[in-house]
Amino acid sequence: MKIATYNVNGVNGRLPVLLRWLQETTPDIVCLQELKAPGEKFPEEAIRDAGYNAIWHGQKSWNGVAILTRNLPIEEVGRVLPGDPEDVQSRYIEANVSGIRIACLYLPNGNPAPGPKFDYKLGWFKRLAAHTQTLLAMDVPVVITGDFNVMPTELDVYKPERWLDDALFRPEVRAAFRELVAQGWTDAIRKLYPDEKIYTFWDYFRNAYGRDAGLRIDHFLLSPNLEGRLTAGGVDRNVRGWEKTSDHAPVWIEISES
């Protein structure tokens, strides 16, 4: 089974790119972030014509997440990260697909830091950590994936000294990610490539993609009962070079049936 995550940076504006990528790579499950579209504007028909079922949680102009499946039934089990009833941002959706619990997230950016947006990011991380403990206790296969907006280590960022005060790389955020993983999750891409430079995002400015001045901020976390089933993974970085593409590239893993 091939599972992918992709911050599309606007599902309607980048729809031709998304559909081309789906056709060329045919992942079984796809988690999308940053739809930037309200629910009624999600391109359901085009996605269905491409061979995918979909559930989504949209929001006008900002945020938004979705889970797509190819020839697989999908059962939505939640679309709000527990812990803050006043949080109305569309950043989380969760579903059961083929015996696996799939959690798709778009963690807050948090800039400028310090400040209210950074506090919101840290609070979101705490809520996520509480929920992931609950998911682990269920003892079912779980994949948590999406745009975490954090570079866990210096290996995950081009010229890390330039990012020390950024909300994606501040010590508090990196510590929150380490504490999350320490619950028992496996950082799938880093397990497969423990010492390699791998990026998933390249800014539009200063020819970042051409210079390979990137960041690894899109992650897969696997529950303990999935770690042994991880067989492959990677980044479709060529998609970042397509015309009118997102500033992220799709990231994917493959897991065996048992």
Kindly report, residue by residue over 3-59, the tens digit of the pLDDT: 999 999 999 999 999 999 999 999 999 999 999 999 999 999 999 999 999 999 999
| Catalytic-labelled residue, pool 28, 147, 166, 187 | 147
The secondary element (H helix, E strand) that includes residue 120 is helix 116-137
Between CA 202 and CA 208 the distance in angstroms is: 6
Number of folded domains in the chain?
1
Whether 199 is a known active-site residue: answer no
Which residues touch 16 (CB under 8 Å, ≥6 apart)? 244
User: What tens digit of pLDDT does each residue of 125-137 get?
Assistant: 999 999 999 999 9
In this structure, the strands spanning 251-255 and 186-187 are unpaired
Cis peptide leading into 16, omega within 30 of 0?
Answer: no
Confidence at residue 225, expressed as pLDDT on a 0 to 100 scale: 95
Both structure tokens of 6: 């992709």
Confidence at residue 227, expressed as pLDDT on a 0 to 100 scale: 96
Burial (CB count within 10 angstroms: exposed 0-12, middle 13-18, buried 19+), residue 1: middle
Closest residue by Cα to residue 151 from 199, 106, 86, 116: 199
Q: Is the pLDDT of residue 62 over 80?
A: yes
Q: What percent of the chain has pLDDT over 70?
A: 100
Residue 248 counted as an annotated binding residue = yes
Residue 147 counted as an annotated binding residue = yes
For 143, the domain range is: 2-255
Backbone angles phi, psi at 246, to 5 degrees: -70, 165
Confidence at residue 34, expressed as pLDDT on a 0 to 100 scale: 98
Closest residue by Cα to residue 149 from 5, 17, 12: 5
Q: Residues 117, 110: contact at Cβ < 8 Å?
A: yes
Q: Is the pLDDT of residue 258 over 90?
A: no
Closest residue by Cα to residue 151 from 110, 112, 104, 119: 110
CATH of the domain at 45: 3.60.10.10
Between CA 4 and CA 13 the distance in angstroms is: 20
Residue 34 counted as an annotated binding residue = yes
Q: Is the pLDDT of residue 250 over 80?
A: yes
Q: Residues 219, 7: contact at Cβ < 8 Å?
A: no
Residue 203 counted as an annotated binding residue = no
Helix axes 171-181, 116-137, angle to 10 degrees: 10
Residue 172 counted as an annotated binding residue = no
* Mean pLDDT taken over the chain: 97
| Catalytic-labelled residue, pool 52, 106, 158, 199 | 106
Confidence at residue 1, expressed as pLDDT on a 0 to 100 scale: 97
Confidence at residue 39, expressed as pLDDT on a 0 to 100 scale: 96
Confidence at residue 59, expressed as pLDDT on a 0 to 100 scale: 95
Whether 131 is a known active-site residue: answer no
211 — pLDDT class (breaks 50, 70, 90): very high
User: What tens digit of pLDDT does each residue of 79-97 get?
Assistant: 999 999 999 999 999 999 9
Residue 149 counted as an annotated binding residue = yes
